[in-house]
Structure 1
Amino acid sequence: MNNKNRYKKNDYFKLKRKLNQYFLVTVVTAIVFVLILRFLAWRRVGDGIVSLLEHMFYLDHVQALMLYHYTIRNNLEVIIFVAIIISILILFRFMLSKFVKYFDEINAGIDILIHNEEKNIEMSEEMGFMEQKLNTLKQTLEKREQDARLAEQRKNDLVLYLAHDIKTPLTSVIGYLSLLDEAPDMPVEQKAKYVRITLDKAHRLDQLIDEFFEITRYNLQEIPLTKKQIDLYYMLVQMTDEFYPQLAAKGKQTVIHAPEDLTVFGDPDKLARVFNNILKNAAAYSENNTIIEIHAGLKGRMVSIEFKNTGSIPKDKLTTIFEKFYRLDTARSSEKGGSGLGLAIAKEIVIAHDGRIYADSDGKHTIFTVELPVISEQT
């Protein structure tokens, strides 16, 4: 708390010093003005007023002198008091103009933010702290706008890609079904081949339609969590069993290195989705006839789960792969092509669990690491 207050004082130090200087100079000027007025009222100004009265009202010297004494000299304190009041009003007006100047600078800076102008916000030296903060805010807003545009562009591109990919298997399905319909006496082996191809294309079509729904759900729903203690080892075993047919078809297999009593605190359905997305990614991009290793264990108050597969990811892509609608294979292979949401959703779920997820690559292997709390943060 003290550090924050000290930081704020340092922020406003130049502004406060400038205002104090204005105030001091104005007060001193007002005092000097009153003193000079009082001094002159006793000396030369008094003679000048008497002379002025003589010429204006055609009075002799004695009459003008008496008029001066009764009207001015005897009311000198009142006149000085009025002069002080006038000085205070001038001081107030001067200080107010300085405050208005600073508010005008802030208002001009806000206008630049509102209209998204390209020029930097510039203020007087004593408002440097506000200039820096507004320029930082401007840069943050520009980056968010740029990120939003990129995400929207990726999403639009992805929808076009998926629409094209949907049409491809749909065309195949229609084509093979037309052949089967037009040739009822087709040999059994050829008919079975066409049926198998049609079924594969239909499964691919179903997958692409699911990805369309995934794109919509990702932006429309939050991630509610129902946390409890989870048998992590059993969850990993169950998940790898489900992936066995997909992996075995390409000579791939999984090996789990984890204690059987390992548990984690979280939402079982959401965490299963995290691990499923990571393993799905490893299965899609790892080399054939290789092993995907899963290491899990305690690291302090966190549980660490690592998925290691053969195959590398460029260093500059290790963070962007967790962005929405980002796909590693920019050429977009139809066999591997997904909505690009798997790892982004995994990241959101892990963050909701107060954990973190990241990737690393040494040129030969890629490792995805998930770190989650062992127990609830509230216990």
Structure 2
Amino acid sequence: MSNPRASYAGNDLKRAIIYKFFVKVLSFTVGLVFLFLCAKFVLSMFTWPTDNVIYRILLYPNDNPIMFLSFCWMIGLIIIVFIHWKKTIYYVDTIIEASNNLASSNEDFIQLPGGLKQVEDQMNQMKQSAMENDRLVKEAEQRKNDLIVYLAHDLKTPLTSVIGYLTLLHDEQEISSELRQKYTSISLDKAIRLEDLINEFFEITRFNLSNLSLELSHVNLTRMFEQITFEFQPLLHEKKLDFQLISPNQLDMKCDVGKMERVFDNIIRNAISHSFSDSTITIDIKEESEGIGIRFENEGYTIPEEKINRIFEQFYRLDSSRSTNTGGSGLGLAIAKEMVELHQGSLSVSSADDKVVFHIYLPTLS
């Protein structure tokens, strides 16, 4: 795919070169005609002896004006073309040399001759953009690698516990039923945590949304949220949270049900993870202009602006602590945003006064 900025710079350069060429040709033509008229004026102002050298020189163009002007114009044009061609080649060589700097990893700005100032500015903008993109890619890759290391380390904790308690159950044949039940319960909890961590590994390795397509169908959005919120009751009870669902009794929409369920699941999980205990998570669904608006609000620590701006980045976690017990892989919100935008909608977040609000807008799909 061609770079729009590069095309724009190239077109500007071509226009500048052509403009300068025609200005030089026009200036030369006007100057030549002016000199010819001056020569005629000088010739007519005085009485010249026939053997005067200047008179003989001026007499030829006066007697053969078209031939003289054509000859001089052709000679001048050849000289202008040669000079202009040489300067254009110099420009091309300079830009080619600068393009090597454009692709290099150094942070030095590109410097071009004065006549290429606009091209220089646009190439430096491209270089800055490429450097910023490279920085973001490296940061995302580093976060991904760090997360994999953290997950791999954290896998050991539940796995060690499961092996330890199962070993006790296996070796202690006369263990009491209460202790057996306790060890079994702990082993189950640790095994579930281990499954969650493994699922996060799969989430990281298969995160590629570029080839996703929508499988649209009609769904009752109100019933859908009632089912989703019901499934979260155990997590809500654990943190002493409540759900408040504000929605019309019947609200149908067309969407990819599986993908939107995943979006809502990710946002609600995030709200539960970052909510104060004994608080309420509110989901407010309203019909908006040519679509539907869904507002998720929870009470939690205000998210700083620098984190708000990065919250939808891949592998970025609000909780930057090393342990994964307090957060997921950092993909949930990134995936949610991609899937909402796949539905031609938008997902945004705001935070103030110990409240966090996610807003989804989904247009009506035909």
TM-score normalised according to structure 2 size: 0.83
Question: 15, 22, 25: which one pairs with 2:24?
Answer: 22
Q: Secondary structure of the equivalent of 1:339?
A: coil
Q: Specify whether residues 315 and 220 from structure 1 end up closer, same or farther in structure 2 by C-alpha distance, changes over 3 A only.
A: closer
Q: Tell me which residue corresponds to 1:144.
A: 133
Q: Deviation per CA, 1:140-190: give whole Å up to 9, x if none.
A: 111110000000000000000000111111111111112222211111111
Equivalent in the alignment of 1:286: 275
Give 1:177-256 correspondences, 5 Å limit.
177-219=166-208, 222-256=211-245
Residue 14 to residue 82, structure 1, CA distance change in 2 (3 Å): closer
Residues 27 and 91 in structure 1, CA contact (< 8 A), matched pair in contact too: no
Q: Secondary structure at the match of 1:148?
A: helix
* Whole-angstrom CA distance in 2 between matches of 1:259 and 1:80: 87
8 Å contact from structure 2 (residues 150, 323) kept in 1:
no
The structure-2 alpha-carbon separation of the partners of 1:225 and 1:276, relative to structure 1 and needing over 3 Å to count, comes to same
1:110-189 equivalences under 5 Å are 110-189=99-178
Preserved contact between residue 34 and residue 83 of structure 1 (Cα < 8 Å): no
1:208 and 1:219 map into 2 onto residues whose CA distance is 19
Which has the larger displacement, 81-90 or 258-267?
A: 81-90
Seen in structure 2, the aligned counterparts of structure 1 residues 34 and 159 have a Cα distance that, compared at 3 Å, is farther
Q: How does 1:1-379 map to 2 (within 5 A)?
A: 17-27=19-29, 44=53, 85-219=74-208, 222-312=211-301, 313-373=303-363, 375-376=364-365, 379=366
Deviates more, 1:167-176 or 1:121-130: 121-130
Shifted more, 148-157 versus 116-125: the winner is 116-125
Change (3 A) 1:43 1:257: farther
Rounded Cα–Cα distance in structure 2 between residues aligned with 1:100 and 1:31: 30
C-alpha spacing 1:19/1:76, structure 2 compared with 1 (3 Å): closer
Question: Superposition RMSD on alpha carbons, in Å?
Answer: 3.3
Unaligned runs of 5+ in 1: 1-6, 49-74
Return the letter of the residue paired with 1:269: G
Q: Secondary structure at the match of 1:295?
A: strand
Please give the alpha-carbon distance, in whole angstroms, between the structure 2 residues aligned to 1:80 and 1:31: 8
Q: Given the superposition, is the C-alpha separation of residues 115 and 26 from structure 1 closer, same or farther in structure 2, using an over 3 Å criterion? A: farther
Q: Does the residue aligned with 1:117 lie in a helix, a strand or coil?
A: coil
* Cα displacement string for residues 39-64 of structure 1 (whole angstroms, at most 9, x for unaligned residues): 9xx9538999xxxxxxxxxxxxxxxx
Shift of 1:223: 2.2
The Cα offsets for residues 280-302 of structure 1, whole Å up to 9 and x where unpaired, read as 11111111222111001022123
Gaps of 5+ in 2: 1-7, 43-50, 58-63
8 A contact 2:273–2:327 mirrored in 1 = no
Q: What's the counterpart of residue 67 of structure 1?
A: none
Closer, same or farther in 2 for the Cα pair 1:76/1:25, shift >3 Å? closer
Instruction: Give the conservation status (yes or no) of the 8 Å contact 2:255–2:343.
Output: yes
Q: In 2, Cα distance between the equivalents of 1:26 and 1:285?
A: 76
Post-superposition CA distance 1:107-144 (Å, at most 9, x none): 23322112233221233444333222211111111111
**Residues 58-99 of structure 1, C-alpha deviations (whole Å, 9 max, x = no match):** xxxxxxxxxxxxxxxxx9998987665443322221121232
Q: Secondary structure at the match of 1:287?
A: coil
Q: 1:315 to 1:92 in 2, by over 3 A?
A: closer
Percent identity over the alignment is 38
- 1-structure distance, mates of 2:156, 2:86: 69
- Please say if residues 247 and 285 of structure 2, whose CA atoms lie closer than 8 Å, have aligned partners that are also in contact: yes
Comparing 178-187 with 349-358, greater Cα deviation is found at 178-187
Q: Which residue identity lines up with residue 249 of structure 2 in the other structure?
A: E
Count how many residue pairs are aligned between Structure 1 and Structure 2.
344
